[in-house]
A and B are shown apart, each in its own frame.
Chain A
C-alpha cells in the first residue's frame, strides 16, 4: 500500500488527566475532521501521555486543527511526523479459520511475515503481526482466503527517526508567528 498523502501523523503530548481523550476526540468531530486511527499510551514521564493520531486532511485544514488542538489546556506539544522522517509501527491481532489441513500454510505465512501465533483452537488460530501499516495490510490480504473471523488493529504509533545530527519533530507547517 502506498502512503496516502492526505494522511498525517500527529504526535501529541498531553497531560495525563481524566477527560483528555474526550477533549481531543471531541475537537476533531466538532471542527469536522476525520481521525483515521488514534493510539494513546503512557510515556517515560507519569505526568504525560502520548497520542499518535493519524488524520485525514489537506495541509491547510491540518494547520487549523493543530492550532485548535494547541488551544486545549492539557495539550503540551504537537509535532507532525512525516512519513519519511519517522518510524511507524502498528500491531494487529487476527483470528483465522484454520482447520488442521491449512494450518501448515498459515504457519508458513506467519513465519514469512515474522508474525507470531498467539492462540490456537480446534478450527481457528489467532496471529499477532507487528510492523508498518502496509505489511499488516498485505498479511490480511494473503490470509483472507482462509476466512477472517475477527481482526483488530491498534492504530499507528510513531517516533521521529534518529537522525545523525539531531532528533526533532517536524514542526507542523503553520503561518509564521
Chain B
C-alpha cells in the first residue's frame, strides 16, 4: 500500500493507539494535518504551542500514557522547547512531532527554519530528523518505545515538509531494533540481598519515595513494602499521591518547604531507602549536612542517578515496581532468619515531632484570606480522587502541603524545571485524559498570566477544568525571598490584584468567573464552582500577600536548620 509520508505518520500514531493529540498547524506541518481530518485521533487545537506541550504532559501524568503534541517548524518548535525541558526534568513520557522546512532547503535559513533537532537534543531522551519517508513507521515505533520505557521522557520527531509529501510503502515494524538501548528492569539479586540485610538492621529507617514510584506504577508495591518493614515514608514533590497522606506511616513532603517531621526524620535516619528519587538539591539542602548518619539504598532505573549526588551503600538499578517486589521477598526471608529491631522508639520520636511541629497557618476571623485556608476548603469540597494541578511558586508549595493526596496520579505539577504557567494547560491535558475526574488547578496570579489563554481552548473543546487563582498581587515566592534575604527590598515583584480583572478575563474566555475576598465566602463559592460541569470555572481568591511558605530551609543551608513560621513559634512560647 502506497501512502504519503504524512499519511504514514498519522497511521503510525494510530498504530501506537494515540487517542488524542494537542497541537497547532502551520506551514511546514500542513501536509500532516491533512490526513488528520480522516483519522480517529482527536486533535485539540491550542492557542499557543507551549500549551500543547504542557497539555500533553498533564495528560501523561494523569493517564500514564505518552502525551502527544504536534506543531509546525521554527517559532512553533521553539515555543514547545519549554514543555520538552520540563518533561525531561520530570521524566514525563511525551512524543512531540514538529514540522520542518523541506529537506532540500534545510540549512539555507528558509522561512520558519530552525535547527529543531539541535535545539532539543539536550532536553529530549532522543530525537529524530526524518530524511526518508520509508523510515516513518520505524521511527514512530522507536520514539514511543524510548519515551515510555526505562526512565520515561520526552522525544521529538522532526519531519521536513517534502518528506511528508513523498510516498512510501506502508508497513508496521514488529519490533524495535535499538542496540544501544536496553534498560535494566530487574534488580541485581546480590544487591537486593544486601539491601534486605540493611533494612533488617536499621533502627531509624525512612523510605524516600520519588516520582519513579509513579512512573513505575509502583504505589501498591510501595504500600506493601512500607507496611512490611514498618518504616515511615516521605513523598517528594514529584511523588505526592504515591502513598496516601492519611496512612499512619506517611510523613508527607520533605525538602526546602517540606514539613518539619519529614525533613528531620531524614536527617536523623540511619537508613534512607530511596525509591525512584534523585537527591534533588531542593530535597537535600546543603549536601554535606544531609542525613549524615544514614546509609543509603538507592533504587533507580537510570544507572546515572546512582552516585550522581550521594554515593549509595547499596545501588540497585531497576524498575521500582519490580525491585520493590523483589525487596519484599528478600526482606521477608531475611526477617525469618534474624530478628528485626523494634522500630517503636523511632515511630514514637516521629509522633512527637508531628505533634510539636505541625504545618501551621492562622485564618483570623475577618482577617485577610489565607491561601492555605482556600486549599483546605477546596480539598474538603472535592471528591477524594480529584486531580490537582499547580503552577510554580508559593501556591504550589501550599498545594502540596495542605492538599491531602489519597491516590496516585492525582497531582500534576512542574517539579524539576519549575515552569511558571504549567497549571492551566496541564490541568486541561489531565482532564482530557481523565474526563471522569474532577480537575482543579491551584494557580498563582503570576503563573496564570503566562498561559491563561489556553482556557479559550478549554471552552472551545468543552473541557471543564476549574482554576483557583491564589491572587496575592505579587510574584509571591520572589517576594518571600526578597523579604527574608534581600532586606525587604522588593524589586520588580508587584503585579496588582485587579490588573487584569480576572473575572472579566475568565468570562471573555467563555468561563464562569467568580471572586472571593472574605474567608466566609470561600465554601459557598467553591460549591458553586463544583456544580458547573459544562465549562471552565475561574475563581479569583484575593489572598493575604504577607503570607509566606513555612517551614523553610534557606538555600545553601543544612536541613538541620528548619525555619518554622515565627507566628507558630511565638504561639507555642518557644
Residues of chain A at the chain B interface (Cβ within 8 Å): 14-15, 18-19, 22-23, 26, 30, 60, 63-64, 67-68, 70-77, 174-177
Contact = CB atoms under 8 A, between A and B. Distances in A.
B315 A176 contact: yes
A67 B179 contact: no
A72 B121 CA distance: 10
Say what secondary structure dominates the interface of chain A: mixed
9 contacts: A15-B180, A19-B121, A19-B129, A22-B121, A67-B306, A71-B304, A177-B303, A177-B315, A177-B316
A85 B445 CA distance: 62
B122 A64 contact: no
A23 B302 CA distance: 19
B503 interface: no
Contacts of B562: none
B485 interface: no
A60 B310 CA distance: 12
Contacts of B315: 175-177
A73 B118 CA distance: 15
Given A67-B304, A70-B303, A76-B180, A175 B311 contact: yes
Interface in B150-200: 178-181, 184, 188, 191
B317 A177 contact: yes
B306 A177 contact: yes
A70 B306 contact: no
Given A15-B179, A22-B118, A64-B308, A176 B303 contact: no
A29 to B, nearest CB: 10
B161 to A, nearest CB: 19
Contacts of B118: 22
Interface in B260-314: 302-304, 306-308, 311-312
Given A26-B122, A64-B304, A177-B315, A73 B181 contact: yes
Contacts of A76: 179-180
Given A64-B308, A72-B180, A175-B312, A30 B302 contact: no
B178 A73 contact: yes
Q: Name the residue in A14, A19, A22, A30 with the highest tally of chain B Cβ atoms < 10 Å from its Cβ.
A: A19
B184 A177 contact: yes
A147 B198 CA distance: 66
B146 interface: yes
A70 B396 CA distance: 35
A172 to B, nearest CB: 11
A20 to B, nearest CB: 10
Contacts of A177: 184, 188, 191, 303, 306, 315-317
Interface string B121-146: 11001100101000000000000001
A74 B125 CA distance: 11
